[in-house]
Amino acid sequence: MNRRQFLYGTTAAAMPVLGGCSGDKFVVSIDDSYPVGRYGATSTAEEVTLGLDLTGKTAMVTGCNSGLGLETMRVLALRGAHVIGTGRTLEKASKACSSVPGNTTPVALELSSLQSVVECADTVARLGLPIDILVCNAGINTFGELELVNGVEKIFAVNYLGHFVLVNRLMPLMKQAQAGRIVHVGSGSAYRQAPAVGIDFDNLRGEGVFDSQEAYGRSKLANALFSLELAARLEGSSVTSNVIHPGLVKTNIARTAPIVLRKAFDWFGDLIAKTPQEGAATQVYVATNPALKGVSGAYFEDCNAVTVGGDNHIFDKPMAERLWATGEEMAQGYLITIEWE
Ligand SMILES: NC(=O)c1ccc[n+]([C@@H]2O[C@H](COP(=O)([O-])OP(=O)(O)OC[C@H]3O[C@@H](n4cnc5c(N)ncnc54)[C@H](OP(=O)(O)O)[C@@H]3O)[C@@H](O)[C@H]2O)c1
């Protein structure tokens, strides 16, 4: 074993909890029933949009002040889109928006508060613009004890439930666009770290044992299943829904990880992790590439739709339907009625 292999081994051993990117019991293969592109793991968001003109399009990116969200906003704006960037406070969103060239509008969005989600959607509606692209990017991966927000486990509430309400509230604006695209930023943790049963519906309010990394996997499985059911409901409409895994990327996502993990990632992460420029490529590609017009209900890694072999639930339709009903129940009072056809 040479030095690079040793470093890779030690860092990679610590990395599943950060990005959900190790282990070999899952076989990921390109799904050629969808258009296969020429980009891959080392492509950047700029490369996958080279030559594209997004002038006249409105995009919205949640979590625009850090990591993948910041790079996604930067590149969409670079290509001419008007980008609505959300941050947990207006100050954070404004600072991020003014840090990138192009046309951007900052909006506050705190996903752990469904009231904040409603206010964010109302603010966006007042802009009076159809939304062509919605990238549900913001997320947390916490490493501490169980936390509940409004009685719901926090990672699930932020990563899934907040975006469930946001998408519902923005759907009228998405339908006004000629061809709206919703991109959910999920993770390989959806199959590597989720509970073996998939979504453990009897443990979403902290009723059972809490394992923070399993909780992150569950929330990312929820992103995948939300996208799947949304795509089914949107079939025949002008709006599509897909979910992506960005890869293991050097961002701030593991900010609450134990110090040993954070140090390992700081020191050796460059050897195995993508840069934010590379990490943002898949979500930007799925949000913009002309060849993917009409593609919906797919799961992407490294800029291509993939299937995942091995026991997992990312395409589990009955589970997706049950999750939808659970989301509706948990978000009661915050949702509007949508005509799906
Ligand atoms: N990095 C990876 O290896 C990796 C791998 C797989 C999937 N992902 C996914 O990629 C997405 C982006 O993460 P990242 O890697 O770019 O991490 P990041 O640098 O930590 O960015 C996360 C963003 O989400 C925002 N956010 C966190 N909690 C929020 C809340 N309660 N309400 C609203 N916004 C909130 C953060 O705002 P603050 O800065 O104000 O907290 C930040 O803007 C996440 O969904 C993550 O699960 C990342």
In the chain the domains, ranked by start, together with CATH numbers, are 25-330 (3.40.50.720)
Pocket of ligand 1 (CB under 6 A): 18-20, 63, 65-69, 87-88, 92, 109-112, 137-141, 158, 185, 187, 245-246, 248-249, 251-253
198 in the Ramachandran plot: left (φ > 0), alpha (ψ -120 to 50) or beta?
A: left
Distances (CA, A) of 283 to 48, 71, 111, 142, 155: 10, 10, 20, 22, 21
Ligand 1 centroid–CA 261 distance in Å is 17
pLDDT of residue 8: 34
Q: What is the DSSP string of 276-310?
A: HHHHTHHHHHHHH-GGGTT--S-EEETTEEEEEES
Q: What is the pTM of this model?
A: 0.94
Secondary structure class of 179 (helix, strand, coil): coil
Start-to-end C-alpha separation, the chain:
57
Of 22, 60, 66, 86, the residue with max ligand 1 atoms within 8 A of its CB, to mutate for a pocket test, comes to 66
Residue type (1 letter), 161: L
Q: Which of 184, 189, 170 is nearest to 227 (CA)?
A: 184
CB atoms within 10 A of CB 122: 10
Helices and strands in the chain, H and E counts: 14, 11
What is the pLDDT at residue 339?
Answer: 86
Which amino acid is residue 329, in one-letter code?
A: E
pLDDT of residue 78: 98
Q: Could you list the pLDDT tens digit for every one of the 341 residues in the chain?
A: 333 333 333 333 344 445 444 456 999 999 999 999 999 999 999 999 999 999 999 999 999 999 999 999 999 999 999 999 999 999 999 999 999 999 999 999 999 999 999 999 999 999 999 999 999 999 999 999 999 999 999 999 999 999 999 999 999 999 999 999 999 999 999 999 999 999 999 999 999 999 999 999 999 999 999 999 999 999 999 999 999 999 999 999 988 888 998 998 888 889 999 999 999 999 999 999 999 999 999 999 999 999 999 999 999 999 999 999 999 999 999 999 998 86
Name residue, tokens 């469904």.
Answer: 114
The helix/strand/coil state of 181 is strand
Task: Please give the pLDDT value at position 2.
Answer: 34
Q: What pLDDT shows up at residue 254?
A: 86
| The amino acid at 198 | G
Dist. CA 139 → ligand 1 center (Å): 4
Asked if residues 122 and 84 have their Cβ atoms less than 8 Å apart, the reply is no
Question: Which amino acid is located at 305 in the chain?
Answer: A
pLDDT score of 336:
98
Task: Please check whether residue 243 is in contact with residue 299, taking contact to mean a CB–CB distance below 8 angstroms.
Answer: yes
Query: In the prediction, which pLDDT does 43 show?
Result: 98
- Tokens of residue 71, six digits: 């790079």
Cβ–Cβ under 8 Å, residues 245 and 188: yes
Q: What is the CA radius of gyration of the chain?
A: 19
